[in-house]
Amino acid sequence: MGRHFLRPGGASTVRPENRIAWSSGALLLLLLLNCSASRQGAVPLKGDFEKLRERMVAEQLRARDIRSPRVLEAMGRVPRHEFVPNSAKGLAYEDHPLSIGEGQTISQPYIVALMTQVAEPLAQHRALEVGTGSGYQAAVLAELVAEVYTIEIVPSLAQQASETLQKLGYENVHVRHGDGYAGWPDKAPFDIILVTAAADRIPQPLLDQLADGGRLVMPVGQVGGIQTLTLVIREKDRFKKRQITGVRFVPMTGKVRTPPN
């Protein structure tokens, strides 16, 4: 699903001059790569993508507030360019979202890393993602946990994501087309639930399917405006909430749009 980061909170705020320097450097590098690709009549070469991915991790993630070694390593392994259309592959490692069709986007790398870091994934965890989109977030999770269950409400995106994940060998990712509001009850409970679309409330079925000690991360707030990336930690029958930062996500669709009783 489409989403993008607005501003890191607290001490992690990126200074404007650093963001401009990165954008200028990235633009120069991409121009050089695109010139090379156009001479060959192809998108950038595999080695070029690897260099861009290394730079993404160093300058967009590690230089900000992404500190988890496991998350940084996973972001460095997953080929983001495989999850975008051919026309956008040369921009796959830029610091912004990209269109994937159906009015949706793939998140900027930072917000994927941030949500993953906040979820604190462990190797034995089982994760649920609501809003598969391109499949990129699911692939990052798949590098870090035992099993990933991901639900996409747009049929064509669910099919495309499933094919991409299978092609890349992510056998521990299970994709389903459907309304993520209801979660995936027959596979619950989940240690991690990531919701990659915004709503004015967290669906109760997702809270019910969160394991004791589990962590749910979701943008909550006004649809079409600025939302708050929110962390929920379950402690038996209690749910502790913590606000992370301001974000802007596409709206969650389906049953969540129906006013609660």
Query: Which positions are annotated as active-site residues?
Result: 107
Residue that is written with structure tokens 């992370």 in the block? 244
The long-range contacts involving 81-85, CB below 8 angstroms and separated by at least 24 positions, are 81/43, 81/44, 81/49, 82/164, 82/167, 82/168, 83/134, 83/135, 83/136, 83/139, 83/161, 83/164, 84/134
The 3-state DSSP composition of the chain as helix, strand, coil percent (nearest 5) reads: 40, 25, 30
Residue 138 CA to residue 161 CA, distance in Å, equals 9
The torsion angle over the Cα atoms of residues 57, 62, 68 and 71, rounded to 10 degrees, is: -10
Check if the beta carbon of residue 151 is closer than 8 Å to that of residue 208: no
Check if the beta carbon of residue 193 is closer than 8 Å to that of residue 206: yes
Residue 236 CA to residue 69 CA, distance in Å, equals 29
CA 114 to the chain's CA centroid: 9
